[in-house]
Structure 1
Amino acid sequence: MTDRDDAQHLITLTETYAAHNYHPLPIVLREGHGAWVTDVDGRRFLDCLAGYSALNFGHGHPDLVAAAHAQLDRLTLTSRAFYSEEMALFARDLARLTGKEMVLPMNSGAEAVETAIKVARRWGYEVKGVPAHQASMVVMDGNFHGRTTTIVSFSTDEVARVGYSPYTPGFRLAKYGSLAAIDERIDDTTVAVLLEPIQGEGGVVIPPDGFLREVREMCSARGVLMIADEIQSGLARTGRTFACDHEDVVPDMYILGKALGGGILPVSAVAADRDVLGVITPGSHGSTFGGNPFAAAVGRAVVALLETGDFQDRAARLGRRLEEGLRPLVGAGLVELRVRGLWAGLDIDPGIMTGREMSVAMMERGLLAKDTHGSTIRLAPPIVASKKDIDLIVSTITEILRERRAG
């Protein structure tokens, strides 16, 4: 067999030559179309992870692929040393989608989070008047915003954090979902409250009803920025354009990524009004690839899909179907179920199986998912999935739990 055909050989090559910063399931993928992928042996699998929400629109969405192909033939990179047509139009369109006056495009989600931190600190010094070198930020326990040095400095995930000290100062942890805990940590040096409207890596953890509205009101009253990391939760995943929309909350700054690149390339951005993002000046922040014409063209096509509202409606409808199918499993193999749009966190009874074991069992039956935090798995199939696909997820998980409980 050739390298292309032999799955085990490809796995061995990866484990030999690529750093072991992931623990993949033993499957080698070759093609993807819509909600389905095919491995090197020709077996088809329903993608229930969608690249951690990077593939909200599915694999190879024709509108996104067409935009990418067209731009490849014109211009891919200029750097921000020059203006480009696509960058101008992308900035305009994304600003309109978010309802903000300005955007700052980057590449990865972690870069966008780092950008938001820098913007908030500079805003604190130049606008709020925080004394030099004293800016603080309130962050949530259980957070996941990336794995750069600054971000892991305020992570509560020891796997991501241990071994990377000394840590960046200036962050104060508060209990997620507790307004009182946030209030206690705000003082005159506080420039922002940074949170995920729904904690994705934590297992699709949804805060109490009204929490986001209360944080919004508190930030306004205390003169600090509310920053919403919508990298996983945004862009139609929860049945609304942004997860904050479920409480009619508009943060001072959105952090966007993953699905903004349409599953084709890394595209991220922060969006805010001019009184916030206006603190950024030439040379004070940048990226060679951020806002490149190729990325901007794909990002514009993503915005166009979102402007129809079709994906938001579809995620809401399919999410209801998924929840209705899985809810009876609570107490029958599931300890807890959390669903918001087409995004679910399933806490499996640890006495039955781990999340990794569930992921392997699903893979063996033609579904691909990923575990987190022991006995939890996340489900986030592409929004282009069909009703039949959703029913397959429900029936497969039901069958696996029934067999394990009986065994």
Structure 2
Amino acid sequence: MRGLLSGWDGLDPALRWLLRINLIALTSATILLGAAYLAGFKHTAVEIDLAVMVVSIVLMLVTPPLCRRYGAPAAIIGLTLSACLFAAGGTWATPNLAPLTVLLTMVPLLVGFPYLTRPWIRALMVVAVVGSAGVAALGEWRRVDNLNEIWWVNAVVVAVSLPPGVAVVVFLVRDAYTRLRDQSVQLAESRTRVVEVADAARRSIERDLHDGAQQRLLAMSVTIERARKELLAGRHESATALMGQLAATNREVLTELRELARGIYPPLLTERGLVAALQSTARRSTVPVTLDVADFERPSRQVEVAAYFCILEALTNAAKHSGATEVLITVRGLPHLSFVVSDDGRGFDRGAVDPGGLLGMEARAAAAGGTLRLETAPGWGTTLRGEFPTSPPPGQWTPEVNDR
């Protein structure tokens, strides 16, 4: 079963958990109702409910392979079809289930809101409104027209079907509350991290300017003064040599400033995207880099920037501290953006180093809806894995962010 559902592994953990709860609830209800049917509670309403539940389970099991290609939308569509079928079929067979089945038509909208684009959300709104009204009307019509005269038929179907359905709704509400609470905690933590990371970035830029360009500019001012004195003394050959030295130093300063500007924000990332920026970074790296990209679709700007700087930080650390002879960068774009940066260096003990750099990367990834996982140990190299399962695709309804 785990292999059959492995297509859900790439989804957001909360969505994956809800899909599995829904599948478990449907399967449990089907088994219980089937057992009741075999035990002698045989009736047309029970048979219809069994058929509807089996088809709903099949619809859910079709989605994992599709999720590998299409991500969360495939799972939400499968959940919508399953919920609507269960609502209509269950209401037709047992009108007493109408209060529950009306709620089930709204579940896909509540589940899919964080993961779908605006057109899909509007479509699910229509499904929720029209579906709930239709199911309610169907229930009233069936209740008057064909209410089961045998009391135990309704009792058995309601007793078996109602608890799993209510469980799905309860878990959905609980999950929404838990996520809201966790997001509040994460927001408070992220504010602190953002300030810390911004301060660290400013200190790093100040240090790079002081140790690099500033020192070279001071040396150039000394050289200019020496060249001036040589000219006044009539030693033109010596002055020419000093001017040549100044030209070489000026080129080095320009190179350092360009590198520093790329580290702040590379223009190539905006103009041509993540892959082009990584290719440029790989060519300039002091450690040989192999870049492996497949199924790449350019993500949102926020995700692209977060992924780039996390990869850049990992590559910089590998070049400065790991003693690595090779770095492999793997980027995958489907069903969502993910990357792996691994080196063959000496590795390190996480408890023995300053976690500031990793915290900065985690804060940047979290701000874009992603997660990072670091795997390292002394003598075993270092691997950084990043995923952005909740990243909004182009065109999704997301809050506007003003850059300053």
- Short-chain TM bin: under 0.3
Which of 1 and 2 has higher RCO (CA within 8 Å, sep 6+)?
1
TM-score in terms of structure 2 length? 0.25
